[in-house]
Amino acid sequence: MNFGASPPSSDDSGMSSFVENPQYFCGIFKDKDMCVQHIKRQDIVLKWELGEGAFGKVYLAECANLSPDSDKMLVAIKTLKDANESTRQDFQREAELLTVLQHQNIVRFYGVCTDGEPLAMVFEYMRHGDLNRFLRAHGPDAHILEEVKMPPLGQLTLPQMLHIAGQIASGMVYLASLHFVHRDLATRNCLVGDMGEGLMVKIGDFGMSRDIYSTDYYRVGGRTMLPIRWMPPESIMYRKFTTESDIWSFGVVLWEIFTYGKQPWYQLSNSEAIECITQGRELERPRTCPKEVHCLMQGCWQREPQQRLVIKDIHSRLLALVKSPPIYLDILG
Ligand code: AMP
């Protein structure tokens, strides 16, 4: 199927709204060369749909002329549906941001395709899709979730969970070094691929909403959707987003990993979850979580932002745990 030969289906609902990250054009990014690569539409051949994101449908495709040493490459194509002026601007902004962000734990961005409609972004293809789905498909409830259709890899082991967490922490160390605040760190925004025998995890989404994960966001006012279950008290109460609020979210990501992708505060409604978080209640220690990892979570969930752990320390502590997991990890695993 040639790109463009596949119009968006008529059941496409409107764009979800999202909270913009005001840093896209500020600070360090102002000085960076934001020359977004352009990819010819004729070089892209769509294969099938992978999912639906904030901007529109995501497809698996083959792309020619991307790299001098390979003829064709598998890529993920994010299309922009309902391109009005405002969504075009969001699209352009995300493309410019992604051009600047280059790290082994940030999804690789190849460029945009803008000769004709729909507008599209071209990314490296991450075979196992988003991390939340992946965790659920490799957890104890995989058989009762639709993810059972995915290839069986068995239940994730503790060393694998630590490895996943370490890679996300590595991506966050990089973002923090650029003073970039993510604002929506969650497993749904990470992607999973293969790396030799092991798993490769990358931060893969910098927009701020998902149609398929809309229950993870709480609509406050007209357009604003907030991932309140991942937010610390100061972000919920004062909309203050900082490197320290990203650390809080990282703690929640750890919790998601060690619960095989449960929704934080799944037993509570949005307003009950807000009440709990602002009153200082903590998510419970997951059953399969070693005490060292629970300590990390608690270090991320200090009420006072300055008291929270810093991402460099979290990263090195996770690397140390990956290298020499405590003995009981093996017993649990
Ligand atoms: P997003 O636009 O990032 O919200 O993506 C929507 C869905 O498309 C995700 O949940 C993934 O399942 C899939 N997806 C997005 N990007 C990729 C990628 N680079 N490789 C594989 N699947 C992807």
Q: What is the mean pLDDT of residues 252-267?
A: 97
Q: Rounded to an integer, what distance in angstroms lies between the CA atom of residue 66 and that of residue 201?
A: 22
Domain 129-323, classified CATH 1.10.150.120, yes or no:
no
Query: Phi and psi dihedrals of 181, rounded to 5?
Result: -100, 125
Q: What is the mean pLDDT of residues 99-115?
A: 94
Q: What is the CA radius of gyration of the chain?
A: 20
Q: Rounded to an integer, what distance in angstroms lies between the CA atom of residue 64 and that of residue 75?
A: 10
The annotation status of 58 as a binding-site residue, yes or no, is: yes
Task: Spell out the domain ranges in the chain.
Answer: 27-124, 129-323
From 90, 184, 216, 246, the catalytic residue: 184
The annotation status of 14 as a binding-site residue, yes or no, is: no
- Asked which of 5-14, 32-41, 180-189, 269-278 is least confident by mean pLDDT, the reply is 5-14
Is 184 assigned a catalytic role?
Answer: yes
pLDDT in tens, 127-148: 999 999 999 999 988 878 765 5
pLDDT at 283: 98
Tell me the CATH number for domain 27-124. Answer: 3.30.200.20
C-alpha angle with apex 186: 23 to 163, nearest 5 degrees? 115
pLDDT in tens, 310-331: 999 999 999 999 998 766 544 4
Q: Residue 110 pLDDT more than 90?
A: yes
Q: Rounded to an integer, what distance in angstroms lies between the CA atom of residue 175 and that of residue 168?
A: 11
Peptide bond into 118 cis (omega under 30): yes
Whether ligand 1 lies within 6 angstroms of the CB of 130 is answered as yes
Positions of E strands within 172-220: 190-195, 198-203, 218-220
Query: Phi and psi dihedrals of 9, rounded to 5?
Result: -65, 155
Whether ligand 1 lies within 6 angstroms of the CB of 59 is answered as no
Whether ligand 1 lies within 6 angstroms of the CB of 126 is answered as yes
Q: Rounded to an integer, what distance in angstroms lies between the CA atom of residue 146 and that of residue 189?
A: 19
Closest Cα to atom 12 of ligand 1: 129
Tokens 């995890």: give the residue: 201
pLDDT at 127: 94
